[in-house]
Amino acid sequence: MLKPRILFKYRKFDKGCLELLLNKQLWFAEPASLNDHFEGEPSFSEVLNAVWANYSRPESERKIYREKIEQQLAKTGICSFSKARKNQLMWFHYTDEHKGVYIGFREHLLRLEWSHIYPIDVSYQDEYPFKEIIEHFNFFEKHPEVNNFEDIAGDILYSILSTKYSSWRYERERRLVFCRSEAKSFEAKTINSIAFGLRMPEQDKSTLRLILSGQEWSHVKWFQAVKSKTKYALEFKRIQ
């Protein structure tokens, strides 16, 4: 039997982190909020421009695709996680230089059968994903019975949401996608573990342990990140 997958959310120890835990809610953000050039995230306009530069379509069709993608983007919410537990760059970038935490979530409890939440594993490459999109166009041209704007626009959107610049490969990102942008509630048992960063202040650790001292959190495994004594790596010490 396969072990349940644990997805990690790296957070600063701040108001947002506490609200996530106390309210037991994860925010599914609009894709537009992820379009940060410094994080290697292409906008759909940039990807479409690369597609049209290599695959000629009438302007009337281009307009339809753009409108369809905008409509689908407007009803999409994304919550990002990492499959990496020990990556020091993740700890540095997303936990206020090791002063925050990671929160480990049981994926199968986030994606219950009726949740309509779907996963996307991000792939990393140097080019915009226009080649994959052109392959989709070619497929639909050979299968006119399923050739419609909705399907192709959906494939284009998937290619955009599942691709980032190769320099960010270390993130090992896995995205959960919902049909709209909103806060989604989860049960306390969804959280499997919490780890304190190398430089997290003792007062913050005590505050978090106190806040999550109720019976509903008694199952949570607590860890302290420590430097390995033999290599350039993080290790995690179980704490009670």
pLDDT in tens, 94-136: 999 999 999 999 999 999 888 899 999 999 988 888 888 888 8
Q: Model pTM?
A: 0.89
Residue 6 has pLDDT above 80, yes or no: yes
The closest of 211, 6, 27, 217 to 108, measured between CA atoms, is: 6
In a domain, 57, yes or no: yes
Domain that includes residue 134, residue range = 6-195
Q: Which residue has the tokens 């989604």?
A: 184
Q: Which residue has the tokens 């480990």?
A: 104
> Letter for the amino acid at 22?
L
Residue 37 has pLDDT above 70, yes or no: no
CB atoms under 10 Å from CB of 99, counted, come to 16
Q: Give the model's pLDDT for residue 143.
A: 76
Question: Which pair of tokens denotes residue 161?
Answer: 């949401």
In a domain, 227, yes or no: no
The closest of 146, 139, 153, 5 to 65, measured between CA atoms, is: 153
Instruction: Count structural domains, the chain.
Output: 1
CB atoms under 10 Å from CB of 163, counted, come to 21
Q: Which tens digit of pLDDT belongs to each residue from 173-210?
A: 999 999 999 999 999 999 999 999 999 999 999 999 99
Instruction: State the pLDDT confidence band at 36, using cuts at 50, 70 and 90.
Output: low
In a domain, 205, yes or no: no
